[in-house]
Structures are given as structure tokens and as C-alpha cells.
Amino acid sequence: MVVILILSPSRLINYRLGFFFKIWFMDFIDEAKIIVNSGDGGKGCVSFRREKFIPRGGPDGGDGGNGGDVVFIAKTAKNTLLDFRYKRKFVAKNGENGRGKQQSGKAAQNFVIPVPIGTLIKDLDTGEILVDMVTPEQYFVVAKGGMGGRGNQHFATSTNRAPRYAQPGTPGEERNLLLELKLLADIGLIGLPNVGKSTIISRISAAHPKIADYPFTTLIPNLGVVKCDDHEPFVVADVPGLIEGAHKGAGLGIRFLKHVERTKILVHCLDIMGLKKPDFLYNFKLINNELEKFSPALAQRRQIMVINKMDLIKKEEFDPDLEKILQTLKMPVCKISAITGAGIKELKYTMVRMLDNKE
């Protein structure tokens, strides 16, 4: 039986966009559940020396080799947990068994798993945070390989010169793990969808995020490196738009709120066209309320307010009542136009001063 699916032009466009988003979104995976198994230790050998002209050779069973460890290593070349979408179980090899003539089994090589810098590794069974991989080449043994058993040569005594037993190797460890990627950035850009965060990061850095005029254009966090005069370069993250109820999973917020937990400063982006009476800062308070509900510590992070799209109004049209409110805020306020570039340089200087604790 052949099924022919006929879509109207509008539905076809939505279908193609949805398929495109799905493929694009899959490339950025920031959470994965996996199982790791370290290797078992090899068995000790029960063997006796039997050679011509040596009637009492005695025991000569060798030891088993150690099983391989499962270890994580933080790599700068990795920026997503996509590899763990297709492979969920990682098993190290077992150690070799011991042999006669006092030959020990070969120890297994460690199973090394590369992860992006910023990966948090938790034990799923206990909820314990095992390690936070925050530095390049950081190395962590998450499951220790079993020890090889001793051969019967070790058990000979004056009263038992021909022991017929050896130790089995100890089993390796199995652990259920949760990997969470939290991006490492000095500054996080937050705000409602379509306030211009992606355009701002494209202006202040060499990042080239997707920019369009529909909600949730940004489906994954974008990172940009900002250089300002002789100051040391710093990293800015453009976090996908937050909406009311983000801390409960509304929109894309709950998946990406964790990516601003490591930031030192938050740049709160607002659209000048959204600042209207009676409550000019309604959207500003809405997002801060979501931060508070997600993490009280995050809500206390220092902020810079950025009022974007100033090119849409004339200077004399800026509401004087709003100006008075902005002057009472205990944070820097930058008025910019990401499209024209107006105020971008001042914004970068403000970021630098905040990072240097000068504001």
C-alpha cells in the first residue's frame, strides 16, 4: 500500500521548518544518561612447575592482570554531548588471566571518554555530583577496574607446598551516570525572544548566530569571544529567549537556564518598543522572577541593562518618566542599536569594567 501525503503550502513550510529545527537542535546535546563498566580483574593461575630433572618444581601460577578503568577527560575540541545520543554504554576491557611459569596476565588499557569542558558528572543512583570538568585535559576516574587475582605461587607455605587454589579477580564497577553540559562563559545575554541578543553577540564578537524575526530563532546557546582594546578576551553566551514560566519548562528556558549559572555577569536585553506604561520594566521583572525561581543565587548575579533597537525612535521620543526610573536602578544601563552599531563600543567597555569589578 502506498500512502501519499499532500500538504498545503503553509503546512509544507511549517513541516520543513520543523524538520530543519529538529536536525539543528539535535547537534547541540547538553544532557545524557549513560552506563559505564570498568573491567574485571583477571584470574590468578593454578599451575605447577614440571620440568625434566626437577622432581619438586612447586607452584608457579602467575597473577591476573588488572581490569581497565573508565575515565573522563575534558577536551576543548568537544562542545556538545552528541556522541552520547547514539552510544549509551561504555565498557572497559577485562584484565588477562595469569598463566603458568609465573607469567602474569596483561593489565587492560583504560577506557578514556572525552567530554566538553564544563561537563558535570552525577551518579544517577545517589544524585551525588562526582566531578565538574572545568579545566582542559582534566582527568577523572569514574569507575575503577577490578584487581587481578594472585596465582597459587603466592600461597605456598611450609605446611602446604602445593596449593591448588588461586584468587579470582575482583569485578569492575558499574555506574549509571548523568552528564550535564553547562557552558563556560564570563557573561550571559538574557531576555525575552526577539529582543536582539543574537544581533548583539554578532556585533561584539566574531560569532555568527542565526538571526531572524520570528520567536525562538536561537535554539541553542551561542558563544562569542569579545576583544576590547588591550583587555584580556572574554566569552559571552547568547542564551535562547526566556519566557514566563521558563523555570517550569515553558518555551526553551529550563533547558538553557543552567548555561548562565557559571557566568559572572548577566546582560539583560530589552526592546525599547516593549518599554511602555504603566509598568515600563514589566519584562525586566518577569525575567528576573524566572531567574529567582530557578536559582536564588543566579538572581543575585550582577547585571547590565541593555535597551536595544534605539534606532526605532528619535532621541526626543524617549519617555522622560522611563529615564527617571533608569537612573534609580543600581546597575549600568546601556542604550544601543545592534543594527546600526550605536552604543556597542560603550557596551563593551561597560562589560570590561564590570569584569574588572570597577562597577
User: Please, are residues 354 and 228 in contact by the beta-carbon 8 Å criterion?
Assistant: no
Whole-number pLDDT of residue 143 = 96
pLDDT at 134 over 50: yes
pLDDT at 13 over 60: no
Whole-number pLDDT of residue 79 = 76
pLDDT at 219 over 90: no
Whole-number pLDDT of residue 20 = 35
Cell of 65: 592482570
Whole-number pLDDT of residue 211 = 54
Identify the band that residue 42 occupies on the pLDDT scale cut at 50, 70 and 90.
very high
* 175 membership: H or E segment, kind and range: strand 174-181
pLDDT at 126 over 60: yes
pLDDT per position as a tens digit, 244-292? 554 444 445 456 667 777 888 999 999 998 888 888 998 888 888 888 8
pLDDT at 29 over 80: no
Cell of 166: 588461586
CB atoms under 10 Å from CB of 357, counted, come to 8
Whole-number pLDDT of residue 66 = 96
pLDDT at 67 over 90: yes
Whole-number pLDDT of residue 223 = 76
What's the fold here for domain 187-355? Rossmann fold (3.40.50)
pLDDT at 198 over 90: no
The residue-averaged pLDDT of 304-325 equals 90
Give 28-181's CATH code, choosing from 3.40.640.10, 1.10.630.10, 2.70.210.12, 3.40.50.1860: 2.70.210.12
Highest average pLDDT, of 31-45, 72-86, 195-209, 226-240, comes from 31-45
The residue-averaged pLDDT of 91-97 equals 96
Whole-number pLDDT of residue 9 = 40
pLDDT per position as a tens digit, 325-346? 999 888 999 999 999 999 999 9
Of the chain, the percentage scoring pLDDT greater than 70 comes to: 82
User: Please, are residues 237 and 187 in contact by the beta-carbon 8 Å criterion?
Assistant: yes
Q: What is the DSSP string of 233-279?
A: PEEEEEPPPP-TTGGGT-TTHHHHGGGGTT-SEEEEEEEGGG--SS-
Residue, of 230 and 129, whose pLDDT is higher: 129
Mean of the per-residue pLDDT values of the chain = 82
Rounded Cα distance, 322 and 299, in Å: 23
187 phi and psi angles, rounded to 5 deg: -130, 140
- Cα distances from 327 to residues 282, 307, 324, in angstroms, run 17, 13, 5
Kindly list the domain boundaries of the chain, sorted by start residue: 28-181, 187-355
